[in-house]
Amino acid sequence: MLHRHADGAFAADSLQRLRLIHYARSHGFGDEQLLAASTAHGDLLAAFPQQPLLDSAAQDLRRIAAELDIPGPLVDELARIVDWDLQCGNDSDVAALGVIAEALHNGFPEDALLQLVRVFADTTERLADAAIRTFHDYVHDHLRAQGLTGPARHAAGERLATPTRRLLEETPLYLYRRAYRRAAQEELLRHLRDEPTPQSGVPGEEHSTVLFVDLAGFTPLAATMGDLAAAEVLGIFGTTVRDNATRHSGRIVKQIGDAFMMTFTRAASAVEFGLAINGFVDTAPQFPALHIGAHYGAVLYRDGDYLGSTVNLAARVASAGIPGQFLVTEQLHREAGELLDAEFILLPPRRLKGISDPIRLLEVRDRGRAHPDRVTDPVCGMRMRTPDVAYRVNWGNSTYAFCSDICRAAFEEAPERFIPPPPQ
């Protein structure tokens, strides 16, 4: 698996190949398995990018950091984040230390630096994994399905990989610059608030609106319809969330499964977003209902995320409603004010999980939009207009509507699984 020249010297890529062989061994794959895979799929060891500057001498990063006046504890923390080998750095690592030293010497705080590096490391890890996995799933497996094997498949993959590398390297920078401009615009709004929040002295503390939105019944939908159908629904939902986030100046903090956490500089924008995305569900022939909840209050920004009781309460508010409800707190209502298209309906006090005292929530409805009659599939949670119902089944004293034959069959097999017990 290592190549030699005619004079017996090892080829220049031998060190990289040894690294990959060692990595495979450390994960339980022997040389025989690696050789067999390379025989079947082409030279696997040649398919991976070379580590930069492997021909340069190993650099002592701790010594270089000391020469640059970077504190030792900070270097250790950076090494944990970036996964540096401090005894065996390369020229790229040294260049990164130089950039860090320049920032510190110009007064950039250590805590802020570490937060940025954590965010960059986590984001680029996900980016790199997405690039490799997507290429494997949509190119490598497609070539295999076409019947290509061995060197032929490897060569075909390389023909696609070469132009793709430019896409993978240049597009993230382009998107980052666009996102930076949007973030800078939001920063302008922070400075232009009519009544700025008094500074607490805690870096990253501010007042913001936090909103959570998720698909009601997504778990039973996936269990009944299958992962592929659930992924298609989630894809439509994700596109809708992102489109409306852009339109209403919201920022997606993170997505976990079918749930999105978002922040808004203006509380009114969060209300407009919630009404818009509920409007999408109302006009779709078949789509799961949503849980939407939002709260306005103090948050703490750390490592690209938002923390604090405001975040926790917003999540509880979202989970407190029935499918299709958009709930907000009184604090958010006061901050947003009365809006032309929004009707705020004050609800009775209720207790929320993890919140000691009862609170009053408001349901937000679109004042100018008629709310169509909808029925809900009891199996997958799909919301449907009456003309879009595929099947109806009478059971007990009720009639149930279904979006597909799959859901109808699942219900008829065990109706008691999908009908909630009567209230005590």
Q: How confident is the model at residue 55 (pLDDT cuts 50, 70, 90)?
A: very low
pLDDT tens by residue, 339-360: 989 999 999 999 998 888 899 9
pLDDT of residue 22: 84
d(CA 24, CA 36) in angstroms, rounded, equals: 13
Q: How confident is the model at residue 212 (pLDDT cuts 50, 70, 90)?
A: very high
Mean pLDDT computed over 3-26? 79
Q: How confident is the model at residue 3 (pLDDT cuts 50, 70, 90)?
A: confident
Q: Compute the residue count for the chain.
A: 424
| Best CA proximity match to 249, nearest among 306, 183, 174 | 183
Tokens 């994960």 belong to which residue?
27
Q: Minimum mean pLDDT among 118-132, 183-197, 336-350: which range?
A: 183-197
Contact 359, 316 (CB under 8 A): no
d(CA 327, CA 321) in angstroms, rounded, equals: 7
> How crowded is residue 110: how many other Cβ atoms within 10 Å of its Cβ?
16
The model's pTM is 0.83
Structural domains in the chain, sorted by start: 52-108 (no CATH), 111-192 (no CATH), 205-372 (3.30.70.1230), 375-417 (no CATH)
pLDDT tens by residue, 58-86: 899 999 999 999 999 999 999 999 999 99
pLDDT of residue 49: 58
pLDDT of residue 196: 53
pLDDT of residue 199: 59
Q: How confident is the model at residue 292 (pLDDT cuts 50, 70, 90)?
A: very high
The answer, yes or no, to whether residue 410 has pLDDT greater than 70, is yes
Q: How confident is the model at residue 197 (pLDDT cuts 50, 70, 90)?
A: low
pLDDT of residue 210: 99
The larger pLDDT score, comparing residue 60 to residue 423, is at 60
Question: From edge to edge, which strands make up the β-sheet containing 382-385?
Answer: 286-288, 382-385, 374-376
SS3 letters across 115-159: HHHHHHHHHHHHHHHHHHHHHHHHHHHHHHHCCCCHHHHHHHHHH
pLDDT of residue 130: 92
